[in-house]
Amino acid sequence: MLKAVLAKYVQEDELIEFIKKLEAELDEKIFSNNKAIVFGEKMSIKLESGHAISNTAKVIKHIRNSLVHSSDRYSREDCFMPFSESESIVSQYIPIIKFLSESVLFSTAA
């Protein structure tokens, strides 16, 4: 469902440009790096049309599931642990979540 909402209300080119700009500011490809481990799984956002929306939805869903179901599926090393370095993983994705939220809100405003 997240992918469907993003596909309908978020302009993929704008998302790609936002992530590229964010990575340039950070001077590190933390979102598009194919080897990035996010809560125990390799996750990345392919910055190409036709891929960025679905990859972003997959990463956001994975982070959400890691937060909500951390004790069910993941080993202690791979799950979200409050007040640990896993908070930095979540914090890195806040600008993307904010961008997506604002895009959906602006697109649906009357």
Q: Which amino acid is at 107?
A: S
Give the model's pLDDT for residue 71.
Answer: 53
Domain count along the chain: 1
| Least confident stretch, 49-53, 86-90, 100-104 | 86-90
Q: Which domain holds residue 10?
A: 2-108
Alpha helices (runs of H) in the chain, residue ranges in sequence order = 2-9, 12-26, 52-68, 70-73, 86-92, 94-108
| pLDDT 10s digits, 69-84 | 655 554 545 555 555 5
Give the model's pLDDT for residue 38.
Answer: 84
Give the model's pLDDT for residue 110.
Answer: 64
Put simply, whether the predicted model's pTM sits higher than 0.95 gets the answer no
